[in-house]
Structure 1
């Protein structure tokens, strides 16, 4: 514990210094919103990755991998190919050019300016301000669960300590403080995951031995999971089975596609000063995310081998605490606590706290700018001091809502809450966001209706049809007397994204073709890329 206190003290001092550094360089609303637009590519790449990958990925999805096995590695592929390569190469450069054209500091401002619509700007800002606390709360829960498990700390105390530290450096440092601390925390996370994967394979007898042991555990798959289509911990579920739909549609597609329309990530494209530096940032971010998700999901699945060898249980049964049933959110904390010496675990704990804090900082920052700049602000020419003050007030409001939601959410929620937010972003924003970048004819009416249809249909299916989500919120049970309108049919386990995103795309295309385009100059020249 003495070693841990020293390491923790050093970690907090570095975080405080970087937050102070951000504060010293935050003199205007542009500094607060987009870090001045001149961030180093290493800082941007690591900040992007650290904001993307959090305890929701390591704790939440790592725990899900313990239940569903190596099939979760398809999400790693989606994260790299879509979340990094497509995002940076195809979306990032054009987004940066469009942001410069409109002098946009936020994603809602970018969309609202392009489609010349105050409604689009305010609806998107309001929607994210309402729903983002759900995702932020999931990340907060992951970090707090680690503190609770490792330090035997009260859960509420852990939740407040974690959230207040993040609040402090976002409040004073703005996005500069966020980027500086995220880059440091991302580096720490990378080192931590490298140590975890090496020691896990050593603990289980080597790479080939560990995976052979996992493949030999197919007979231990619970009967309920076998009925839903699971074939083993080292193989894919049966095609189009209930388990297959959950892994592929909810997790892989929901998060893999949804990352393209993540407002708190999109704003990162506007923090570098050229496309050349954006390319360099892509390399750093790609390596980081490949390593982080690949390790988390592999270790999650292999934890079954460890639990079986030490207690004759699989992760699902080992994570049962009291009468609450299996809890995916507890698997990774339990594995690290039991598998490694306490002094080493405390070092790993700091890396996982960094994962939580890096993502929370980006989420809090986006909530603050959405409330202050997009909902109550007017243009980038507003009084910088007033905008900065409103941003900090918005941050406090978002913080209070997030803590409240964190107390209300049940167990097993981290991965689901993350996929809900990512899926909603894709359904609401992806068609009109892509249209703003590549289809000059796209109309304001089409963008508006696409956003409304995508977001409202997704929310309806989430609350009333998709059983995994509707059973959590309880609104369907309250209004209809049952968990889902679909009963036990196949629609009850098909993710809302499978319906909401196609509907949003169709509406965007059809309405564009039947409405008059905006009167503006052809933007192909404006969006032509240069490496100044």
Structure 2
């Protein structure tokens, strides 16, 4: 029996009331200074930071987009869950986080572009990074709001365009008004809702399919039902990895697992959260919250996506991609939820997906707004001379990027959610990761080396997307128009994701140019890398505990 309209309306009213209340709590604690609006005052508790980080990371891109890809390609995507937890949580929080927090505090940086810009004493790096984020992150943001719009469309039966507008107006209100602390408070609330929804989804799916062993065995036994077109591309069943060196193998490994898995380390909207906590201990404590959260969010989405084939085959005689119009993978998870789940749960899970979309989109819009208002406008165009209007310009920047993302959400094709996510994360990896590593861990990295790495990484990634990687080059048609062929290279090369080419090239440029150019002054490096009093006390305490343990105390 379907849930009544009045029940749906009541749930939505309760949800948005809680959202505005929590956002107001963040706003009341948040000053309208640059540091308060853009960096939440640097005193965020570890659990809030971890949940906000996870909620900003896991969105409808993971649940709707990659869940749909798992329904098509299989459980090989679970390698992405491992990469997300290992790189996106453990390596990020334990290895990258402390250095990012300390350096940001030492240099007075309040955005990710400003952190790397100040580390290398380069306004160009800061402005270029801000421009890169402002231009290309709307594609990622659009993929997130498409997921929310599609689910609202299939669940509530409302027009997709109307669904997008309702969704985006709510986000715009608290992101523009409240700043980062409001965003992070709401993120934590939404992460809790997401966790409850995904837990029920996993338990109910297994119970409906006869249990864990039975469900997975049934999916294994369906290998003969894989469409011949996918078999020809290397598909060997939903519980097996694709054939090595096949087109699907390259898509899964280089684009999805590597691009999104490692790409998490270079995401500006995630890295900036390391600068919101008060000490390194908070980052280490956050691992215990962030790791399990990502395991439940991404792991459940990919497992349920693949198992949806069992459900659809038993109930309709078709696999998941045959059930949805045009094989659009973005519609598979919404279709599964609406067909298999109890009506009340679908209504409640709608709130989980809204939470996933809103938390990620809010982080993206805040990051894009600060990139425009603070990094590009104040420190790029104005060369740091004017600061009185920075917050105002940032709010205008947020509004502008919201409009751009909505326009993209109207015009992008189907099955785009996962692809757009991987594209942006891959670009960030090639552009930012080498110089980010150099900034934190190699004092010999020079301003010229970082600048060359940023520019070469960006250009080479975009070049490969437009002229070589078939997934983008063929539909774009630019290579065909200029050179008379779909891709410049043939054979295996058109299957290789840009991250596999542009990132090593960016690293190589960083090293070679840095070794050939003058290093930054020792006095500046000492300032950038110094330990503050609280960090020294924390390190001393950790050393004392270690010595006591060794002595058997």
Fold match (TM-score > 0.5): yes
Deviations 1:202-248 (A, max 9, x none): 11111110000000000011111111111111011112221111101
**Structure 1 104/305 Cα, relative in aligned 2: closer, same or farther at 3 Å?**
same
Q: Pick from 15, 21, 24: which aligns with 2:25?
A: 21
Q: Deviations over 1:468-510 (max 9, x none)?
A: 12234343344344432235x2111111111000100111111
- Name the TM-score, length of structure 2 as normaliser: 0.93
Map of 1:359 onto structure 2:
360
- State how far apart, in whole Å, the 2-side matches of 1:341 and 1:214 are: 23
Change (3 A) 1:382 1:89: farther
Counterpart mapping for 1:434-453 below 5 A = 434-453=437-456
Say yes or no: does 1:179 pair with 2:184.
yes
**Do 2:430 and 2:502's aligned partners in 1 also have CA atoms closer than 8 Å?**
yes
Aligned to 1:327: 328
> Do residues 516 (structure 1) and 524 (structure 2) align?
no
Q: Does 1:11 align with 2:12?
A: no
Q: Is the 8 A contact 2:152 2:163 kept in 1?
A: yes
What is the Cα deviation at residue 102 of structure 1? 0.8
Which 4+ residue blocks in structure 1 deviate beyond 6 angstroms?
379-384
5 Å-filtered alignment, 1:107-256, equals 107-256=112-261
Q: 1:179 and 1:148 mapped to 2: Cα distance?
A: 27
In the TM superposition, 1:281-320 aligns within 5 A as: 281-319=286-324
Which blocks of at least 5 consecutive residues in structure 2 are unaligned? 539-553
Cα separation, partners in 2 of 1:526 and 1:84, compared to 1, 3 Å = same
Asked if structure 1 preserves the Cα contact closer than 8 Å seen for 2:378 and 2:386, the reply is no
Distance 1:525 1:398 in 2: 34
Deviates more, 1:255-264 or 1:521-530: 521-530
- Whether the 8 Å CA contact 1:134–1:405 is kept in 2: the answer is yes
The aligned counterpart of 2:44 is 39
Segment of structure 1 superposing worse, 162-171 or 277-286: 277-286
Aligned counterparts of 2:493 and 2:384: Cα–Cα separation in 1: 48
Q: What's the secondary structure of 1:105's corresponding residue?
A: coil
Structure 1 window deviating more from structure 2 (517-526 vs 84-93): it is 517-526
Contact 1:53–1:289 (Cα < 8 Å) also in 2: yes
Partner SS state of residue 389, structure 2 = helix
Separation (CA, whole Å) in 2 of partners of 1:482 and 1:525: 50
CA contact 1:19–1:172 (8 Å) conserved in 2: no
Q: Given that residues 29 and 385 in structure 1 are in contact (C-alpha distance below 8 angstroms), is that contact kept between their aligned partners in structure 2?
A: no
CA distance in 2, matches of 1:79, 1:222: 30
Deviation of 1:381 after TM superposition, in Å, equals: 8.3
Deviation of residue 385 (structure 1)?
Answer: 5.1
Q: Report if the CA contact (8 A) 1:432-1:450 is conserved.
A: yes
Residues 405-451 of structure 1: per-residue CA shift (max 9 Å, x gap): 11121111000100011010010011111001011111011111111
Distance between the aligned counterparts of 2:181 and 2:366, measured in 1? 11
**Which runs of 5 or more structure 1 residues have no equivalent in the other structure?**
none
CA RMSD of aligned residues (A): 1.6
Change (3 A) 1:119 1:382: closer
Give the C-alpha shift of residue 514 in structure 1.
Answer: 1.1
Q: C-alpha separation between the residues in 1 aligned to 2:478 and 2:54?
A: 35
Shift of 1:342: 1.6
Which of the residues 469, 474, 478 maps onto 1:475? 478
Query: Is contact 1:416–1:469 with CA below 8 Å preserved after alignment?
Result: no
Q: Secondary structure at the match of 1:376?
A: helix
TM-score with structure 1 setting the length: 0.96
The separation in 1 between residues aligned to 2:300 and 2:243, in whole angstroms, is 24
Query: CA offset at residue 280 of structure 1?
Result: 1.3
Q: Distance in 2 between matches of 1:267 and 1:530?
A: 23
The question of whether the paired residues in 2 share the 8 Å contact of 1:316 and 1:328 is answered with: yes
Q: Could you say if the C-alpha distance between residues 189 and 472 of structure 1 is closer, same or farther in structure 2, counting changes exceeding 3 Å?
A: farther
- Counterpart CA distance in 1 for 2:207 and 2:102 is 48
Shift of 1:520: 3.4
Give 1:389 deviation, angstroms.
1.1
Please say if residues 378 and 384 of structure 2, whose CA atoms lie closer than 8 Å, have aligned partners that are also in contact.
Answer: no
Say yes or no: does 1:339 pair with 2:340. yes
Deviations 1:133-187 (A, max 9, x none): 0000000100100000101111100111111111111011110110010000001
Farther off after superposition, 352-361 or 281-290:
281-290
2:52 matches 1:50: no
How far apart, CA to CA, are the structure 2 residues paired with 1:54 and 1:525? 34
Structure 1 contact 367–398 (Cα < 8 Å) conserved: yes
SS of 1:377 mapped into structure 2: helix
